[in-house]
Amino acid sequence: MLRRIASGRSPTLALLLGLVITLAAVVTYSWRITGQIAHLRKVQRELADRNRKDSLQLLRIQNDLNSLGLAMRDMLDTDGRYPLSAWAAQFQRIRHDLDDAFRQEDLVAVEHRTPDQRQYLSSSVAQFWDAVDRVFVLAARNREDEAREQIRMSLQARQTALSNSVARQLVENNVNEEQTGLHVAHIYDGVQRQVYLFLFGTLSTILLTTLFLIYVSRHLFARLSFLSQQRSELAQKLIATQESALRHISRELHDEFGQILTAVGAMLSRLRNKSPKESLISAELQEISQITQSALEHVRSLSQALHPVILDEDGLDSTLDWYLPKIERQTGIAIAYEKSGMSFDIEKSDGVHIYRVLQEAVNNAIRHSCSSEIKVRLQYLSASLILEVEDHGTGLPAHPPRSGIGLVGMQERAELLDAQIDFLAASPAGTLVRLTVPKRSAQPA
């Protein structure tokens, strides 16, 4: 992965893979925790709740059996004022309640009982009521002594056996409740561990992804800084080469072609002076001399346009005083020039860059703004120089064409000056180009 970054490949694939892994981990852990919570709810609903309801029914059964036990004890009392048959209605009522309790208990009973246990309990209850029926049959035939003997020898033993069986079931329910509680606590502990693992895994993934992003960002910023430095150096060399070439061409035009045309003009003047004034050749020499003079002026104008000599000799202020009126005469567009503050010396290379920014801004205003007036302001402050070119034309387009390099060139020159250049909207309409150049170590002029 590091080799891919070093080779300039995009880290998108690695980041997407990390995102997929993170989402998969989140989905997996969420599904697992959701399943455990659902299982916990099922345990609480099917075990704990059913166990509690079962215990309530068992307590109801035990209470009815205890009532039967008390009734049989009273029936065995020979001093009783009531015959045994008088207890039939109470036994019948308890029997109905017991049947309903056994039926409800069978519906909510926990599945830990075996079929044999259920069969034993059912047969024991049936045998108990068969014995009760025989006792009341004997009592109805006035054979109360035999009936009491049946109660003493059979019914009480069966009632005790049923009570013990119900008591064992209650104990088992209590044990099951404790096991259910332990099982629920175990599930809670498992869910808690899963949550901690999920948080740890998620935080670890986020941490690794963040560290990777930091590494990639630092690497990319380092590369961008290196490329920006290279671009700045290249732009500086290109601009220096361009200025050197323009200076050389301007000097060649001024020195070589200017001298040649000056010499040709002088020779034509001598020939015209030696020829008769009214002759045809004198007129032609005069016309050629005018053409030569016009060509000389064009060469000098072109030389000044490529690189004004006045910029090297007299500085930026004199260059602006010469350049702006010349542009005003050539284009017919009014240029209002305002200078304020105490001027200070500017290095020749800095002066060239400021002049080129001004030249490009004025040319853009002339070509694109459709404005009839351009305002140029030069302010000398204590710590900086501010150059502003303002027009009240159409303004900058929302999406400047990519093919134009004028704005890019202005920004490059601003970087070489360690300056700030702003392209703003003028009020009420138009464009304002502001170049703020920090003052270097220079003395007031």
Q: Taking residues 411-434, what's their average pLDDT?
A: 84
Q: Taking residues 19-27, what's their average pLDDT?
A: 75
Residue 232 lies in a domain: no
Residue 237 lies in a domain: no
Distance CA 254, CA 299 (A): 7
Q: What is the pLDDT of residue 53?
A: 81
pLDDT value at 96 more than 90 = yes
Q: Give 431's strand partners.
A: 391, 425
Q: Give 438's strand partners.
A: 384
Percent of the chain with pLDDT over 90: 4
Q: Are residues 209 and 322 in the same domain?
A: no
Q: Are residues 187 and 325 in the same domain?
A: no
Q: What is the pLDDT of residue 445?
A: 41
Q: Are residues 34 and 142 in the same domain?
A: yes
CATH number at residue 407: 3.30.565.10
Residue that is last in its domain, among 168, 201, 217? 217
Total tally of structural domains belonging to the chain: 2
Residue 125 lies in a domain: yes
Q: Are residues 82 and 204 in the same domain?
A: yes
The residue behind tokens 């910023």 is 221
Phi, psi of 301 (to 5 degrees): -65, -45
Residue that is last in its domain, among 217, 243, 261? 217
Residue 281 lies in a domain: no
| Type and span of the H or E element at 50 | helix 50-75
Q: Are residues 201 and 57 in the same domain?
A: yes
Q: Are residues 177 and 58 in the same domain?
A: yes
Tens digit of each residue's pLDDT (9 = 90 or more) over 371-382: 888 999 999 998
Q: Are residues 345 and 202 in the same domain?
A: no
Distance CA 34, CA 31 (A): 5
Boundaries of domain holding 205: 2-217
Residue 68 lies in a domain: yes
pLDDT value at 63 more than 60 = yes
pLDDT value at 5 more than 70 = no
Q: Are residues 191 and 326 in the same domain?
A: no
Q: Are residues 212 and 321 in the same domain?
A: no
Q: Give 388's strand partners.
A: 377, 434
Q: Taking residues 2-24, what's their average pLDDT?
A: 63
Query: Residue 216 contacts by C-beta under 8 Å, 6 or more apart in sequence?
Result: 5, 11
Residue 330 lies in a domain: yes
Tens digit of each residue's pLDDT (9 = 90 or more) over 159-201: 888 888 888 888 887 887 777 777 777 777 777 777 777 778 7
Residue 314 lies in a domain: yes
pLDDT value at 74 more than 70 = yes
Q: Are residues 65 and 209 in the same domain?
A: yes
The residue behind tokens 């070119």 is 389
Residue that is last in its domain, among 202, 217, 232? 217
Q: What is the pLDDT of residue 46?
A: 65
Q: What is the pLDDT of residue 148?
A: 85
> Could you tell me if residue 387 is left (phi over 0), alpha (psi between -120 and 50 degrees) or otherwise beta?
beta
Query: Residue 151 contacts by C-beta under 8 Å, 6 or more apart in sequence?
Result: 72, 75, 76, 135
Q: Taking residues 82-111, what's their average pLDDT?
A: 84
**Confidence category of residue 113, pLDDT binned at 50, 70, 90:** low
| 148 closest CA partner among 77, 100, 202, 76 | 76
Q: Taking residues 412-432, what's their average pLDDT?
A: 84
Residue 86 lies in a domain: yes
